Structure 1
Amino acid sequence: MASPVSSILIYNNKYLVTNQSFDLLVIISYLKERGIKSSYYGFLSANHDIIINSILSTDKCENLNTIWFHHFLTEAKSQLGWKIFVEVKNKVCHFLFCKVRVTPGKCVLT
């Protein structure tokens, strides 16, 4: 995970003052910008470089997807209305089931 930032961040010509970690800011900004059109695939595509740069030398690549999709769903749950969150969560689960071959039960967010 990226180290916490405590500064003014410029993202898409918007100023954000934050103490949250940069990767969570990227997720929050994406969700707020896309709303119901949010998708995990779209997030991965739009933020490929940031995700790759978040890998530490001690990280295992197979855990990277789990870390990012969990953060994505957690932030979607807190940032989006319930109806939109459920739709986005279903898209994430479908994407993971089709691409990564996980069981749908792995997408359960408690």
Structure 2
Amino acid sequence: MTLRERLNELSAPSGTPIYGEPYQTPDGATVITVTEPGLFGPRPRGIFVISGGEARWVCDANGERVALLGVLTGLIAAAFATAALLKRPPWPDTSITITKHA
């Protein structure tokens, strides 16, 4: 694929689904893949399964994105906790004052 073809793909509106060729499974179901154009090639979105006269949508769950979201959430929570401890430690304020008695 040339750079010009890749740039032409990027000019397509984001979110425009690309439907694959229907595939007939041995049990009689028809499967149609659905992808979306992305920066590094098409991204899978899910499949349509047509079986027994009914269509069913099966969404593509991206485990890597879910794991990344969990890691980032933990990192942000740790950063906030560290910032809170540095600003105001949990131990009580102590001070020593010397008073002169006359």
Q: Which structure is larger by alpha-carbon Rg, 1 or 2?
A: 2
Give the TM-score category using the shorter length.
Answer: under 0.3
| TM-score normalised by length of structure 1 | 0.19
Higher helix share: 1
* Higher RCO by CA contacts (8 Å cutoff, separation 6 or greater): 1
